[in-house]
Amino acid sequence: MTFSHALGHLKAGKKVRRRGWTEDTFIVLGGSSIYIGKGSAIADWFPEPSDLLENDWEIME
Protein backbone atom coordinates (compact mmCIF):
# COMPACT_ATOMS: atom_id res chain seq x y z
CA MET A 1 0.00 0.00 0.00
CA THR A 2 1.07 3.63 -0.38
CA PHE A 3 2.23 5.76 2.55
CA SER A 4 -0.95 7.81 2.20
CA HIS A 5 -3.00 4.66 2.80
CA ALA A 6 -0.65 3.57 5.61
CA LEU A 7 -1.16 6.95 7.30
CA GLY A 8 -4.87 6.18 7.62
CA HIS A 9 -3.97 2.96 9.45
CA LEU A 10 -1.55 4.86 11.70
CA LYS A 11 -4.36 7.26 12.63
CA ALA A 12 -6.50 4.21 13.51
CA GLY A 13 -3.83 3.09 15.99
CA LYS A 14 -2.12 0.42 13.89
CA LYS A 15 1.61 -0.13 13.45
CA VAL A 16 2.92 -0.15 9.88
CA ARG A 17 6.25 -0.88 8.22
CA ARG A 18 7.90 -1.15 4.84
CA ARG A 19 8.14 -4.64 3.41
CA GLY A 20 11.97 -4.63 3.43
CA TRP A 21 12.32 -3.63 7.09
CA THR A 22 13.18 -6.23 9.72
CA GLU A 23 10.22 -7.88 11.41
CA ASP A 24 10.66 -5.92 14.66
CA THR A 25 10.85 -2.48 12.96
CA PHE A 26 7.68 -0.40 12.61
CA ILE A 27 6.29 3.13 12.76
CA VAL A 28 3.50 4.29 15.02
CA LEU A 29 1.61 7.54 15.53
CA GLY A 30 1.92 9.25 18.92
CA GLY A 31 -0.04 12.47 19.24
CA SER A 32 1.05 14.59 16.29
CA SER A 33 4.39 12.79 15.76
CA ILE A 34 5.39 9.60 14.02
CA TYR A 35 7.85 7.33 15.79
CA ILE A 36 9.94 4.44 14.58
CA GLY A 37 10.28 1.42 16.79
CA LYS A 38 12.71 -1.46 16.74
CA GLY A 39 11.96 -4.03 19.37
CA SER A 40 11.28 -2.01 22.53
CA ALA A 41 13.24 1.11 21.44
CA ILE A 42 11.27 4.09 20.06
CA ALA A 43 12.64 7.25 18.38
CA ASP A 44 11.36 10.15 16.27
CA TRP A 45 10.99 9.14 12.62
CA PHE A 46 12.19 11.41 9.83
CA PRO A 47 11.20 9.74 6.55
CA GLU A 48 13.30 9.77 3.42
CA PRO A 49 11.46 10.95 0.28
CA SER A 50 11.59 7.36 -1.00
CA ASP A 51 9.69 6.18 2.11
CA LEU A 52 6.81 8.48 1.22
CA LEU A 53 6.74 7.50 -2.47
CA GLU A 54 6.96 3.70 -2.25
CA ASN A 55 3.95 1.40 -2.25
CA ASP A 56 5.41 -1.43 -0.15
CA TRP A 57 3.86 -0.41 3.18
CA GLU A 58 2.12 -3.10 5.21
CA ILE A 59 0.15 -3.29 8.45
CA MET A 60 1.75 -5.16 11.33
CA GLU A 61 -0.64 -7.67 12.80
Q: Is residue 60 part of a domain?
A: no
Domain that holds residue 49: 3-53
Residue 58 covered by a domain:
no
- Our count of domains for the chain comes to 1
Q: Give percent of the chain above pLDDT 90.
A: 97
Q: Does some domain include residue 61?
A: no
Adjacent-strand bridge partners of 28? 35
In the three-class reduction of DSSP (H, G, I as helix; E, B as strand; rest coil), residue 48 is classed as: coil
- Element spanning 3, H or E: helix 3-11
Predicted confidence (pLDDT) per residue in 14-40, tens digit: 999 999 999 999 999 999 999 999 999
Average pLDDT of the chain to the nearest whole number: 96
- The pLDDT confidence band at residue 61, using thresholds 50, 70 and 90, is confident
Q: Which long-range contacts (CB under 8 A, 24 or more apart) does 7-14 make?
A: 9/59, 10/34, 14/59, 14/60
* Three-class DSSP category at 61: coil
